[in-house]
Structure 1
Amino acid sequence: MVAEALTSDAAHLAVGGALVAVALAVAYKTDRPSGAWTRALRSRFLLGVPWGTLVAVAGVICVYLFVQSGLENPDRPVVIPFRSWSYLYPEGLLWSSFAHANRGHITGNLLSTLVAGGVAEYAYGHFPGGREVDDETGTLRSALPSRESLRRVRAEGLAASEPGRVARSALASLAEGDSLGESPYVRAFAVVPGAMAAFGVVSALFALGPVIGFSGVVFALWGFALVFYPVGTIAALTGATLLDVASETLRNPVVTAEASGFYGPPGWANVAIQGHALGLIAGALAAAWLVRRRRGGDADVDEAGAGRRTTALAAFGAVLLFGASRRLWAVYWYLGNQRYELYRAVGLGLLAVLAAVVALAVAGRDEPLRPDLAVPESATVRGAIRSATPAAVGLLLLASALAVVAGPGVVPNLVAVGDGDLPGDPVEVEGYQVTYAEDVEDRTVNVVDVRAFGRSTSVNTSGVIVKNADREIWTTAVSRGNLAFWGYRAVDVGGTGWRETVWVQRVGWVAANGGPTYRVDAVRNETRSTLFTSESARAEPRIDGRNVTVAAVEGGFELRVAYEGETERSVLPAANESVTLRGVTLVHEEDAVFAERGETRVRIATRERYEGRQ
């Protein structure tokens, strides 16, 4: 019993939690901060909390649970209908930036949102220009109207002649600002989460391919934060890692693992580099504009509360380090059928150029490049060019980079899915068609035929294909290799608040030194149908001049024996039974089939095994 208690998750969590608490207590007693640890937060956040980031996180969680039916199955939400498929499918565009592929996907994005969003929201601030923090500031009492403000409201209300004056005065007092935009409540609960939501929808309009996830917004937050606090933001990246470790610790404090196989594309091929770059550039551009607006011509002071202005070296290094750590160098071309080609050198060079452009936009001088040609307060384009400053050039280049990254996503989103039939006999579910095919044209990639440098978007795909013409969906939901690795996969289709699941299973036999033959079935509502059968496989051993072949057929398998130009065939017998064809007895024993003739007995086929299920 003692041994069981020592190995329980609760015991490990208790020990780990106690050690963390002791470590924090030591640090606290050593510093004796007396509120200094939170003073900076309280000077820029309402009650010292990044409310806007928390509201955005809550919204994304609601989408996952209720829109994607994640409440029904947290590990396997409905994904296919919530990607950004086309301008002709607004529902996908609306939800794609807030939906996620699985629990790991949403967990990673939201942990990064908490860190990046917190830093970006701190830079923006709930209080324009910050505020002085005294003994009461930052507490609940400081967030409420003071006695003096209430007395002023009463006095103004008694003196007012028109209706509603008291309400307006009270609202102004509660907002602690002269305008709605200066209200900490509006900035915290409307502006910040509203900006995240708006950018999520807008970025989906320019997404290249059917992307999904909040990462575009997360990268915009990182870009915004990098401009204001380049060094602090790079340090904050480790904070996101710490949150991830803490989250995994709470879920799985004790893990037993062993070496195992894994199927999937290269890690860099899972990076939505275009969407991430779009977010990073947009965030940096917004921050650069805000920095210069706040600076108001002061070359030394940054009114965002960051102290002195960001140097070019700091901005350049921070963007370069961030991009390298987040694989923004992963420029690649999809070759079809789960094959990719990475252009790492070009990607790293482009990342360095982007870092230089951000540095120029943020830290560039405000003096004209050619003072002798500058025109004061020019109203013409020619005069503006002659009076251009390094900072203006940097902002223009950054805006141009945003356009270059966003542009390629427009044309593919204008193309509609055709009405052509899918191969085989698809399973139909509420407008969806699910089938399996091999080496067919990949209509997700080949939306627009592009040929460059010996490469083309005209590629083939193999696997489980899902189509819904009404939703402009055509996708390889499960690749051939993925299905061959696991043996079966679930394909979830549906829409807002509903789902249907089609299970796809691969069953096969491997002929001795002759390769596999397999059948792919779909199972829905306990009804099985065959979607695909591969070519037959002939075993290498010959039994007295006779060749044995195993073939996948609809609903099962059959054995064939060829001799002297004639072939005899039969369905695969049940386990521990046999059949005789052309003088050869074929015996089915557990997961193998043996051929017997006279004193000869050889194995001619074994049941296909799936590495992911071993």
Structure 2
Amino acid sequence: MVAVPGVELLQSYAELLQRLAVLVALVLGLGVALALDDRAWLARFRGRLLLGVPWGTLVVAGFVLAVYLFLQGGLDNWYRPVTIPFRAWSYFYPLGILTGAFSHSGAGHLLGNLVGTLTLAPLVEYAWGHFPRERGSSSFGSLGENPYVRAFVVFPAVTLVVGLLTAVFAIGPIIGFSGVVFAFAGFALVYYPIGTVVALSVGDVVSLLYSTLSNPELVARARPVFVTPWWAQIAIQGHAIGLLFGVLLGILVVRRRDDPRPGAFRLWAGVLLFAVVQSLWAVYWFRGASQFVLFRWLGLILVVGLAVVVTVALRASDRPLFGRFAEGFDPETVRGFVPTLPRWEVAVAVLVFSAAALSGPAVPVNLTTASDDPLPNDPITVRDYEVTYAEDVPDGMVSAVDAEAFGETTQVNTSGVLVRSESRGIWTTAVSKSRLAFEGETRVRVGGVGWRESVVVNRTGWTAVGGGTAYQIRLTPPDGERRLVYRSPARQVEGRIGGTNVSVVPAEEGFRLNVTRGNTTRSVPLPANNETTATTDLVFTRQGSKLFAVSDDTRVRIATRETYRGQQ
């Protein structure tokens, strides 16, 4: 294709005009809406928030962004931050517990949680308020009632505590602020159930605006991609405990201050809609070997039950659970017996029990640490990390307690690029075998506070016709030479050629071809492009990515160089 002078400049001007058009449309739309609105809500905001601004939300969002930019190195590598040292691997790794809830796996992950924070946290901050609401209290009567302290200290501090709780009680290794975002949602649902669902739509608008300004026009072509099921990428347990923490905190504040409560149907519908939209029904299990199972039936029952229990906790009366049946008991004799408890207290107890039941399994799992068994295949060392490649080995971070549910087990084997740090208690499959086979080359980033390094991982292979792929895995350390760490078994070409069997064999240097006739095997190097090698039985010639065998007047293709769709 012949390049047309000035085309790229014209495209840049066109994108600039498109962005300006979007901004103008948004400003005009807001202007019309504000001009026709009575703006009474502005006065309500100023009455609840300092200068009408959710300062606490902005402080929290700024903190999360700063962790990504400076601690994880996102400022230098926006799309590929360092993640391994900042996950909440176990209780024996304090740095991960402290940073896991505030770190992120990539730019998309970060932006998604920031949008959720900026849309849901203001509802929480508005409901709580910067100004005390008790009659007779003064805004500056004490340190706890000072609106500046409440906005810039108390709200961010409570958020940090909730984040730490999600890291402690989520089944590791978690990373991301989403548990806290769900806590914001849980608190907001208690006050504004329908408003919380609407806030999700506002978040979608903000995400669309960001995507549009980043890339006004998107040209998409069909291409193969490597994906895992979307529901297998959701930290469902961490999201659920975050939501329950927020709901319980919201109920505590509502009942302590005797704030107005939403109608029962609005509350039930809001909780159910939020839980469904946010996929809290996606209960799944990891089977190992990149296999997952989704329990839709169980998830749907659970979210319906959640909506019912939250509604009862807020809207039920103080009457005993079983009404007249409970009235026959002597309160002093059966104090605390369930039938004598108010209905709303029973619902709160169910929520507390649910949070405990979800959090409890995290304790044995998060008490594990990295196995001290030597890693296979001559690992590369980068400070306190070891990096290698292996297949079908026990996962070194699986809980020592083998739990089973619905026929599934926690004991799994794994294959891929392995990373271990004994001092940090980290053992993980950083890149799965299937993903590496798709991408061909990747980088594994390791590090800690104030430092980060990358190890390059390469896979090369030849696919024998009808016999599978023979491949090699090589690692390149930050300041060293590329090293071979893994060779797959040889792969035999289907059928016989000139009375011989041909196999593709990964070798220390490149690949070799084994030619077997009877009990005799001869080996020759796989030829370079446009060159040939020969044994007494066959001649091998390579043309680009294809390898042919010639016997007398017969010429057949026997292997093809492996291609990596992730690089196309």
Q: Deviations over 1:42-79 (max 9, x none)?
A: 12111111000110011011111111111121111110
Question: Is 1:473 the counterpart of 2:473 in the alignment?
Answer: no
Amino acid at match of 2:315: A
In the alignment, structure 1 residue 179 sits paired with structure 2 residue 142: yes
Residue in 1 that maps onto 2:71: 67
Question: Which protein, 1 or 2, shows the higher relative CO under an 8 Å CA cutoff with sep ≥ 6?
Answer: 1
DSSP-derived class of the 1:411 partner:
helix
User: CA contact under 8 A between 2:284 and 2:295: conserved in structure 1?
Assistant: yes
Counterpart position of 2:493: 539
Per-residue CA deviation, residues 484-514 of structure 1 (Å, 9 max, x unaligned), is: 1111111001111211100111100011222
Alpha-carbon deviations, 1:459-508, whole Å to 9, x = none? 11111111111111111110111001111111001111211100111100
Question: 2:205 and 2:409 mapped to 1: Cα distance?
Answer: 42
What does residue range 563-574 of structure 1 map to in structure 2 within 5 Å? 563-574=517-528
Task: Name the structure 2 match of 1:56.
Answer: 60
Pair 1:501 & 2:454 matched = yes
Q: Is the 8 A contact 1:209 1:444 kept in 2?
A: no
Q: 1:60, 1:99 within 8 Å by CA — same for their partners in 2?
A: yes
Is 2:266 the partner of 1:314? Answer: yes
- The alignment partner of 2:279 has SS state of coil
Contact 2:371-2:397 within 8 A present in 1 as well: no
CA distance in 1, matches of 2:232, 2:372: 30
**What fraction of aligned residue pairs are identical, expressed as a percent?**
45
- The answer to whether the 8 Å contact 2:370/2:397 transfers is no
Cα distance, 1:372–1:459 mapped onto 2, change above 3 Å: closer
Output the amino acid matched with 1:215.
S
CA distance in 2, matches of 1:7, 1:258: 24
The CA deviation at 1:368 is 3.7
Could you say if the C-alpha distance between residues 376 and 309 of structure 1 is closer, same or farther in structure 2, counting changes exceeding 3 Å? farther
* Residue 506 of structure 2 corresponds to residue 552 of structure 1: yes
Report SS of the residue matched to 1:474. strand
Shift of 1:253: 1.7
With over 3 angstroms needed to count, the CA separation of the structure-2 counterparts of 1:537 and 1:383, relative to structure 1, is closer
2:564 matches 1:610: yes
User: Residue deviations 1:244-293, cap 9 Å, x none?
Assistant: 11111222122221112221210000110110000000100010111111
Closer/same/farther in 2, CA of residues 555 and 42 from structure 1, 3 Å limit: farther
Unpaired runs of 5+ residues, structure 1, are 132-171, 296-301, 303-307
Relative to the length of structure 1, the TM-score reads: 0.87
Q: Secondary structure in 2 aligned to 1:470?
A: coil
Check the 8 A contact 1:43/1:130 in 2, yes or no: no
Matches of 1:364 and 1:67 in 2, distance apart? 47
SS at match of 2:496: strand
Q: Is the 8 A contact 2:414 2:429 kept in 1?
A: yes
Aligned to 1:327: 279
CA–CA separation in structure 1 for the residues paired with 2:247 and 2:284: 24
Instruction: Give CA deviations for 1:372-406 in whole Å, capped at 9, x if unaligned.
Output: 96699978872675652112112111111111111
CA contact (8 A) 1:562 1:582 kept: no
Note if contact 2:90-2:366 (Cα within 8 Å) is conserved in structure 1.
yes
Does the C-alpha gap of structure 1 residues 280 and 380 become closer, same or farther in structure 2, counting only changes over 3 Å? farther
CA deviations on 1:412-450 (whole Å, 9 max, x unpaired) are: 111232310111111111111111111111233354211
The 10-residue stretch of structure 1 (233-242 or 449-458) with the greater mean CA deviation from structure 2 = 449-458
* CA deviation vs aligned residue, 1:91-143 (integer Å, no higher than 9, x gap): 11000000000000000001000011011111111112299xxxxxxxxxxxx
Q: Check whether the contact 2:365–2:399 (CA below 8 A) recurs between aligned residues.
A: no
Aligned residues: 559
Select the structure of larger CA radius of gyration.
1
Please tell me the root mean square deviation across aligned C-alpha atoms, in Å: 2.2
Structure 2's unaligned 5+ residue stretches are 1-5
Alignment CA distance shift 1:73-1:383 (3 Å): closer
Aligned to 1:96: 100
2:3 counterpart residue number: none
Secondary structure in 2 matching 1:71? coil
1:476 alignment partner AA: T
**Whole-Å separation in 1 of the counterparts to 2:332 and 2:120:** 39
2:401 is matched with: 448
Q: Could you tell me which residue of structure 1 aligns to residue 165 of structure 2?
A: 202
Report the more deviating stretch, 424-433 or 591-600.
Answer: 591-600
Deviation at 1:589, TM superposition (A): 1.9
Structure-2-length-normalised TM-score = 0.94
Whether 1:459 and 2:412 are equivalent positions in the alignment is yes
Q: 2:156 aligns with which of 186, 190, 193?
A: 193
Residues 154-181 of structure 1: per-residue CA shift (max 9 Å, x gap) = xxxxxxxxxxxxxxxxxx9xx8332222
Aligned to 2:82: 78
Structure 2 counterpart SS, 1:22: helix
